[in-house]
Copies of this chain bind each other. A is one copy, B any other.
Amino acid sequence: MNARVGLVAGSGQLPLLFARAMRRESESRLVAIVAHEGESDPALAACADHLLWVKLGQFERILSFLREHGARDLVLVGGIRKSTIWRARPDRLALGMVFKRLVGGMDDDRLLRAVAAELEERGFCLRSVTDFMPELLAPRGVLSRREPSEAEWADIRHGWRAAKGLGALDIGQGVVVRRGMVVAAEAMEGTDAMLARAGGLLDARGWGWSGEGSAVFVKVVKPMQDRRLDLPTIGPGTLESMIKAGIRVAAVEAGGAMIVDPEATRSVADRHGLVLIGIDAADVVEVTGGG
């Protein structure tokens, strides 16, 4: 764990949280940051001595910059979001990689794995942000003050199975469930869009919060996912989207999903009476005779 670290940063809060945490630990550990134009937070500049701004797909510039500053362990965070990856300006190296590795198709998991394989072939060691900040991984158990009702538990279990199945099909990581039905399944639109759509469908049916509980949002790791890349992530912003949509339970995979800024996330949950819970396969085993 003592190699010098390079950060390839995309959008969102997480790169900055990571860079600041690294900086707090040691002034010299994080040696170089690659930031993406129009995506990454300019505040990253204060977190490393060397920062390079690039467009998505400028592999050659990225690699020579990281090598120049002696980075060996690499952390890729936020930079490989589904919604931005296709606005790339791929250079010769990036194009070569795409042709060499992605003959079978371009789903985003394959693309991420291809990027990882190329980096490792070039002597870099790809690391998960959670190797450095294990406190970001959702723990198992109820994290909010409110606990799920029985009806919510039933929907959490149903949602786990549906989301794992969706992941096995390489479609997505998240679903919204109410009364045993999958209201919305996430593919390329992203979590916020999926939550908003579910909110409209719940409204139209009068399926809002009731005595028995609320619709449930479940987010899990795809069964074949490389956990160093693109872990499912929720944070205060996700909870704000849920509140707008009238969804009051978030169940994420314990040890698999990241909670960005856990403190702030819990605080939003408790302020609005949401359930925030980390679950794993053991929670989904049905009690004999139960629903």
Q: Which residues does A use to contact B, with CB under 8 Å?
A: 83, 86, 103-108, 110, 154, 158, 161-162, 165-166, 168-172, 175, 179-189, 193, 197, 201, 204-207, 291
Return the contact of A161 from the options B86, B104, B169, B206 (Cβ within 8 A): B169
- Closest-by-CB residue of B relative to A184 is B187
Of listed A103, A162, A187, A197, residue having the most chain B CB within 10 A: A187
Report whether A183 and B179 are in contact in the complex, using a CB–CB cutoff of 8 Å.
no
23 pairs, CB–CB < 8 Å, chain A vs chain B: A86-B205, A86-B206, A104-B291, A105-B154, A105-B179, A105-B181, A106-B180, A106-B181, A161-B169, A165-B168, A165-B169, A165-B171, A166-B166, A166-B185, A171-B182, A171-B185, A175-B187, A182-B188, A184-B187, A184-B189, A185-B187, A193-B197, A197-B197
Return the contact of A162 from the options B103, B169, B189, B197 (Cβ within 8 A): B169
Report the minimal beta-carbon distance from A285 to chain B, rounded to whole angstroms.
Answer: 16
Question: How many copies of this chain?
Answer: 2
CA distance A78 to B188 in the complex (A): 30
Report whether A162 and B171 are in contact in the complex, using a CB–CB cutoff of 8 Å.
yes
Q: A166-B169, A205-B86 are known contacts. Are A108 and B184 too (CB-CB below 8 A)? A: no
- Closest-by-CB residue of B relative to A158 is B105
Report the minimal beta-carbon distance from A121 to chain B, rounded to whole angstroms.
Answer: 23
Residues of chain B within 8 A of A162, CB atoms compared? 169-171
- Closest-by-CB residue of B relative to A109 is B181
Report whether A291 and B105 are in contact in the complex, using a CB–CB cutoff of 8 Å.
yes
Return the contact of A201 from the options B103, B106, B179, B188 (Cβ within 8 A): B188
Residues of chain B within 8 A of A105, CB atoms compared? 154, 158, 179-181, 291
Q: A106-B180, A179-B106 are known contacts. Are A172 and B188 too (CB-CB below 8 A)? A: no
Residues of chain B within 8 A of A161, CB atoms compared? 169
Residues of chain B within 8 A of A185, CB atoms compared? 166, 171-172, 185-187
Ranked nearest first, the 8 interchain pairs of A and B with the lowest CB-CB distance are A105-B180, A165-B169, A86-B205, A171-B182, A107-B181, A185-B185, A185-B187, A106-B179
CA distance A170 to B185 in the complex (A): 11
CA distance A189 to B175 in the complex (A): 13
Residues of chain B within 8 A of A168, CB atoms compared? 165
Known: A83-B204, A171-B182. 16 other contacts (CB 8 A): A86-B206, A103-B291, A106-B179, A106-B180, A110-B180, A165-B165, A170-B182, A171-B175, A182-B187, A182-B188, A183-B187, A184-B187, A184-B189, A185-B185, A185-B186, A185-B187
Of listed A162, A168, A188, residue having the most chain B CB within 10 A: A188
CA distance A181 to B84 in the complex (A): 15
